Amino acid sequence: WYQRRVREAVVSTQSTGVSANHATDARMDVFCIGLWGKLQKSYIDVRIFHPGAPSYLPKAVKPLYREQEAQKKRAYAKRVIEIEKGSFSPFVLSTTGGTGEECGRVMRTLASKISDRHGNTYRETIEHIRLRLRFALLRVCLVSLRGTRTKINYTPISNIDINLL
């Protein structure tokens, strides 16, 4: 079912003439094997948006998630399917705590696989995944706002040996 949806997205992308990101340095945020099928490569790209931004105010929230997912699919789905030979899932989150349809599907599938493997209940596992995701996002926001606590040691240019011969 999921692969059919990705193929439909690629076909609709091809029909509209919007090209995928074919740059050699184009990378997705998360890579895993076995998420959607046994030994199948899966690529996930994360996008966080703020639905309260002035450009989004006249729009309803649900179509915003679909629009963000469609933008990610236009940028990466064709490349992932044709070049990387895997599946692509946009992981769209909002700053208000909501998630996109595909994001929820990824988390449900992941929770199901983890709960089966470790013998936990599905409810405990999905709660744990959501909690870890919240703290990870909070950590990213804090680091981006105030910087990292670790001190970066720079080597003075005078101490670097430039002669390679």
| pLDDT (tens digit per residue) in 155-165 | 676 666 555 44
Residue 76 scores a pLDDT above 90: no
Mean pLDDT of the chain, nearest integer: 79
pTM, entire model = 0.69
Query: Model confidence over 3-38: pLDDT tens digits?
Result: 444 444 444 434 344 555 656 666 778 888 988 888
Backbone angles phi, psi at 159, to 5 degrees: -90, -5
Query: In the predicted model, what is the mean pLDDT of residues 77-97?
Result: 88
